[in-house]
C-alpha cells in the first residue's frame, strides 16, 4: 500500500470549515475513481487516489486547529472536556490541599492528579500551588482561581440537575453536629421550607473530625472553638453551659454545694467541649471532679436522655435544654453559668463560593440561632 493522500476543495478557508477527505491510493491495477471536479491530489506519487469514506473537519492541511479567543492581549483556550476535568481536579486539590485525597476522590493515581495540575498551570501561565515542607498551599493566583471556578462548577452542577430532573428542587448538602440537628434544627426546618419551597436540604450528621475523605458540603454547623483553617466560622449559639439534673434525682439527694456532688452520679460526655474540667476551673478549681470510673456517653443525643431519666448530673449548653428547664423537667441545682470555649458555629469554605440557595439557608439559620440566643438570655435574666 502507498502512503495516504488527501483531496482538498479549492478556495475553502478555515472559517468555512474545510472538508478534508482522508484517502489511500489503491493497489496497482485496481480501478481508481476520478476525483471530483475542481480537486487537486496530494500524495507521494500523485495519481488518482481512491478516497475512503472517512471525513474530518479541519483547516487546509488536515490539522485540527483548537478554537480560541483573545482577551487582554493573550490567547485563552475555550473549554473542553479535558479542561473541565482539570478544573474539577483543581477544585478538589484546592479544597483538600492534598493530592492523595484528590486522587482517591477522582479514582485516579496521584501522578495523574499532578499531571492535570501541571497542565492547568502551564495553560494559565501561573503557579496555583505552593509546595512547602508542611504540605500544599494555594498561591494568591490559586486562591483567586478557586473562587471563580468553584462558583462556575456549582452553576454547571445546578444546570445539570435542572435539565436532568426538570421540576426538581435545588438540593443543599449540610453537615450538622449530631447534637445540633435533633435539638435545634429539625423542629425549625418547616419554617425554612415555607419560605423556600424550591430548596431541598439534605442533613448529614457529621462531626468535624474523622470524616471520610472527599466529602463536600455547601455549609456546616459544628461544635467548635471557631478557628478552622480554610473556613469562615460565624458564631450561632451555645456558649453558656450549666450543671443540670432531673428533679427526681435531687429529691433523693439534694445538692446545696460542690461537696454534695461527691455523693451523686456524674455523667461525662466523650467528645470535645462542655467538659467537667472546663466547668470546675471556673466554679470550683480545687474540686477533684468526677472519678475516672464515671459513666461516659458518646454525645448529647445520649447524655441528655440519660440526664432526663435521672441517671446523673451533667454539664450541658443551656440552648440545648432550654425547653426542659422551662418545663421543669431539668433543674440547675447551683444556678451557675459558665462561658465555654466551644459553641455552635456556621462554617463555610474560604473563599466563599456559595450560591443563592446556600446563602438563603445560611441567612435563615443565623436568624433562627439569634432567636435561640435571645431566648437563653431572657431565661437567664428572669
pLDDT per residue over 260-288, tens digit each?
Answer: 998 899 999 988 889 999 999 999 999 98
Q: What percent of the chain has pLDDT over 90?
A: 50
199 close to 169: Cβ distance less than 8 angstroms: yes
SS3 250: helix
Every domain range in the chain assigned CATH 1.10.10.10: 83-164
Average pLDDT of span 297-323 = 96
Q: What band does 134 get if pLDDT is binned at 50, 70 and 90? A: confident
**Chain CA centroid to CA 264, Å:** 44
pLDDT tens-digit series, residues 80-111: 556 888 888 998 888 888 898 898 888 899 99
Measuring CA to CA, how many Å separate 359 from each of 185, 223, 365?
Answer: 17, 20, 10
Domain 83-164 fold is Arc Repressor Mutant, subunit A (1.10.10)
**Chain CA centroid to CA 370, Å:** 25
Give all strands of the β-sheet with 219-224 in edge-to-edge order. 199-205, 170-176, 219-224, 343-349, 231-237
CATH of region 240-339: 3.40.190.10
pLDDT tens-digit series, residues 308-318: 999 999 999 99
Every domain range in the chain assigned CATH 3.40.190.10: 170-238+343-381, 240-339
Q: What percent of the chain has pLDDT over 70?
A: 73
Say what angle helices 81-96 and 110-124 make with each other, to 10 degrees: 110
pLDDT score at 82 = 61
Q: How are beta strands 268-269 and 296-297 bridged, if at all?
A: parallel
pLDDT score at 101 = 87
Determine if the pTM surpasses 0.75. no
Domain 170-238+343-381 fold is D-Maltodextrin-Binding Protein; domain 2 (3.40.190)
C-alpha torsion sign, points 373, 378, 381, 382: negative
Amino acid at each position: 500500500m502507498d502512503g495516504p493522500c488527501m483531496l482538498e476543495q479549492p478556495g475553502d478557508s478555515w472559517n468555512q470549515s474545510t472538508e478534508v477527505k482522508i484517502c489511500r491510493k489503491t493497489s496497482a491495477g485496481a480501478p481508481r475513481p476520478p476525483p471530483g471536479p475542481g480537486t487537486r491530489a496530494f500524495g507521494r506519487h500523485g495519481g488518482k487516489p481512491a478516497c475512503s469514506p472517512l471525513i474530518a473537519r479541519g483547516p487546509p492541511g488536515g490539522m485540527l486547529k483548537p478554537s480560541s479567543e483573545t482577551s487582554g492581549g493573550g490567547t485563552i483556550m475555550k473549554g473542553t472536556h479535558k479542561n473541565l476535568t482539570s478544573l474539577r481536579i483543581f477544585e478538589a486539590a484546592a479544597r483538600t490541599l492534598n493530592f492523595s485525597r484528590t486522587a482517591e476522590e477522582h479514582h485516579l493515581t496521584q501522578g495523574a492528579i499532578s499531571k492535570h495540575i501541571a497542565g492547568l498551570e502551564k495553560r494559565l501561565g501561573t503557579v496555583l500551588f505552593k509546595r512547602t515542607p508542611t504540605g500544599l498551599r494555594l498561591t494568591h493566583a490559586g486562591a483567586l482561581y478557586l473562587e471563580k471556578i468553584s462558583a462556575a462548577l456549582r452553576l454547571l452542577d445546578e444546570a445539570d440537575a435542572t435539565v436532568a430532573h426538570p421540576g426538581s428542587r435545588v438540593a443543599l448538602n449540610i453537615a450538622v453536629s449530631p447534637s445540633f440537628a435533633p435539638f435545634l434544627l429539625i423542629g425549625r426546618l418547616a419554617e425554612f421550607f415555607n419560605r423556600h419551597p424550591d430548596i431541598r436540604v439534605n442533613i448529614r450528621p457529621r462531626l468535624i473530625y474523622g470524616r471520610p475523605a472527599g466529602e463536600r458540603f455547601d455549609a456546616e454547623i459544628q461544635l467548635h472553638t471557631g478557628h478552622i483553617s480554610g473556613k469562615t466560622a460565624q458564631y450561632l449559639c451555645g456558649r453558656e453551659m450549666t450543671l443540670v439534673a432531673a428533679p427526681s434525682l435531687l429529691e433523693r439527694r439534694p445538692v446545696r454545694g460542690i461537696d454534695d456532688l461527691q455523693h451523686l452520679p456524674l455523667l461525662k460526655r466523650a467528645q470535645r467541649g462542655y467538659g467537667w474540667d472546663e466547668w470546675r476551673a471556673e466554679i470550683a478549681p480545687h474540686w477533684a471532679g468526677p472519678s475516672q470510673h464515671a459513666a461516659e456517653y458518646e454525645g448529647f443525643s445520649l447524655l441528655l436522655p440519660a440526664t432526663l431519666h435521672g441517671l446523673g448530673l451533667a454539664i450541658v449548653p443551656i440552648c440545648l435544654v432550654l425547653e426542659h428547664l422551662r418545663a421543669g423537667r431539668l433543674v440547675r441545682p447551683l444556678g451557675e453559668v459558665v462561658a465555654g470555649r466551644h459553641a455552635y458555629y456556621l462554617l463555610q469554605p474560604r473563599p466563599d463560593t456559595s450560591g443563592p440557595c446556600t446563602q438563603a439557608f445560611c441567612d435563615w439559620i443565623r436568624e433562627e440561632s439569634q432567636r435561640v440566643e435571645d431566648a437563653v438570655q431572657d431565661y437567664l435574666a428572669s
